[in-house]
Amino acid sequence: MPTLRSAAASASTAGTASPTAIATPRSAKRRLTSPRRAAGSPDASQFTSPHKSPNVGIVGTPKLLSASPRSSRKRLYGDFVAAEKPKWNPRGKSPESHFSRAHSSDWDLTKEFICSADPAQMQVVKEALHVATVPSSGLVCRDDEQSRVLEFCKGCVEQERAGSLYVCGCPGTGKTLSINKVKESVARWADVTGMETPDALSINCTSLAKTHEIFSKILAKFQTRKKATGKLSPLQQLQTMFSHKESAPRRMLLVVVDEMDYLITRDRAVLHDLFMLTTYQFSRCILIGIANAIDLADRFLPKLESLNCKPLVVTFRAYSKDQISDIIKHRLKVLEYDVFEPLALEFCARKVAAASGDMRKALGVCRSAVEVFEARLQESSDQEFGLVTFDHMDIALSKAFKSPVVDSILCLPQHQQMVLCALANTFHHCKKKATTLGELNKSYIEICRSTQVPAVGMLEFSNMCMVLSDQGFMKLGQSKEDKLRRVMLQIDSSDITFAFKDFAFYWIKPT
């Protein structure tokens, strides 16, 4: 009498799906039901490995299975994990030379796909990270700032009125690149809306032999066939032009003045006269000034406001670690392979953001890390394939930030180092360039308390500051009372940050 188990077995042979087939994952089930296996071909068993069948995925299979025969990881796990970029091959050796290992082991199943490349890959990576390379897909992390400037320019063009805008921020924060993108956006917007496209003039003040030459360049853009008579200066000709409707130009002019810090003279007349050009009744100037000085607006805005030519201020903050990481990844998207380990990029972003937030510095560090990796490849014959690692980035960061000043700081006694940290901490929050010896002493005592280090007395503290002043780290002013003496930092605060990045007493109190 047949048992229940034997009945189930006979039913299975009659065409019912076996338990093995029922429990088979989706991806494996697709391979088991390929056309040849479904036809019961006697040669079907030889196509058990996905690497031996050149026709897998051509008929009746999803597009996912038509990947390269060597990309076994994509074939086996494509339904569950996202596709990854192939690894970098900076030596330019073809992976076919390594396929002999696949015959003796499951090397193809355990290694990721290695793309073949030529030595030009190294140069392509360096060009992608070069400061002069402008990303074709646009600028990231500055959408808000660009939007404010663009709306300002649109309003001036639509109402046919002059206006002034001041862009400030630390070096390497994308000011010039953003304004150039805005100029292109204004031209496209004018074409789409049917507005008259304004003329554009870009002036870098570092190229001016004399500051007042900026008015000659603006006048040359407005110059008509009728030449001015008399002995009027270019500034006076512009003032006369914008004072009368008959002589006023018809088309608007977008003037971008970069490195505006160079226009600061003793009497500041050039800077004031430049902004005053936008206040005349028939002026057609849209003035956008760019400068690195954060406090330039604070120093000159009261005077400009009294002259009724206060500009709109747009501040570009230093890049954060997340923004630096996003910008580098955005630049590397043009490559078809991964170059950096994620930890290496994060390390670079954190260090640069803590020091200055300068994107140009971050790109330079990444290029230096690639060069370190390239040198290691030439020295070692074992490292055929790989990525730029944390160690390569650490060497590049040390080269970028370490300087003779850093070495001198590290050689100072502990309490003198803590005085420099207190000074850097003070300027980090108040954004001033000077403080008093009394305020510096308070900051120094706070650091001593937080690290449980006994603080020295006021007399010894004053003597330490005099020693630091003699060595060129700070500058001390004169006063009858020591506590009222002015103190100014004579070195870059980023050198202090980098020198003490691993020290317990270096800290920045929250704002």
Map tokens 């420099």 to a residue.
Answer: 420
Choose one of 379, 401, 423: the last residue of a domain.
Answer: 401
Are residue 217 and residue 292 in the same domain, yes or no? yes
- Residue 411: the pLDDT is 87
Element (H, E) at 169: strand 163-169
Per-residue pLDDT tens digits for 67-109: 444 443 333 334 433 455 666 666 655 444 444 444 444 434 3
Q: In 3-state terms, what secondary structure has residue 446?
A: helix
- Residue 119: the pLDDT is 62
Are residue 153 and residue 207 in the same domain, yes or no? yes
Q: How confident is the model at residue 173 (pLDDT cuts 50, 70, 90)?
A: very high
Are residue 293 and residue 157 in the same domain, yes or no? yes
Residue 118 lies in a domain: no
Are residue 215 and residue 310 in the same domain, yes or no? yes
Per-residue pLDDT tens digits for 234-246: 999 999 999 998 8
Are residue 381 and residue 409 in the same domain, yes or no? no
Nearest-CA neighbor of 503 among 401, 403, 418? 418
Q: What percent of the chain has pLDDT over 70?
A: 70
CATH of the domain at 247: 3.40.50.300
pTM for the whole thing? 0.62
- Residue 314: the pLDDT is 93
- Residue 87: the pLDDT is 61
- Residue 266: the pLDDT is 66
Residue 252 lies in a domain: yes
196: how many CB neighbours lie within 10 A of its CB?
Answer: 11
Are residue 395 and residue 410 in the same domain, yes or no? no
Are residue 283 and residue 171 in the same domain, yes or no? yes
Query: Which residues share a beta bridge with 476?
Result: 487
Q: In what order do the strands lie in the sheet with 285-291?
A: 199-204, 253-258, 285-291, 163-169, 312-316
Choose one of 385, 401, 417: the last residue of a domain.
Answer: 401
* Helix residue ranges per DSSP H, 194-241: 213-222, 234-241
Number of compact structural domains in the chain: 3
CATH of the domain at 326: 1.10.8
Residue 275 lies in a domain: yes
Lowest mean pLDDT among 101-105, 142-146, 279-283, 357-361: 101-105
Element (H, E) at 97: none
What Å distances lie between residue 52 and 38, 103, 123, 318, CA to CA?
18, 12, 36, 55
Cα 320 to Cα 26: distance, rounded to the nearest angstrom: 44
Are residue 395 and residue 338 in the same domain, yes or no? yes
Lowest mean pLDDT among 98-107, 108-117, 175-184, 351-360: 108-117
CATH of the domain at 496: 1.10.10.10
Are residue 157 and residue 303 in the same domain, yes or no? yes
Q: In 3-state terms, what secondary structure has residue 315?
A: strand
Residue 85 lies in a domain: no
Are residue 325 and residue 381 in the same domain, yes or no? yes
Map tokens 């056309």 to a residue.
Answer: 35
Residue 336 lies in a domain: yes
- Residue 89: the pLDDT is 66
Residue 110 lies in a domain: no
Are residue 222 and residue 303 in the same domain, yes or no? yes
Residue numbers of the domain that contains 307: 143-316
Choose one of 401, 421, 448: the last residue of a domain.
Answer: 401
Residue 150 lies in a domain: yes
Lowest mean pLDDT among 5-9, 188-192, 277-281, 494-498: 5-9
- Residue 76: the pLDDT is 36
What Å distances lie between residue 171 and 5, 20, 292, 400, 402, CA to CA?
80, 65, 6, 16, 19
Are residue 301 and residue 357 in the same domain, yes or no? no
Residue 99 lies in a domain: no
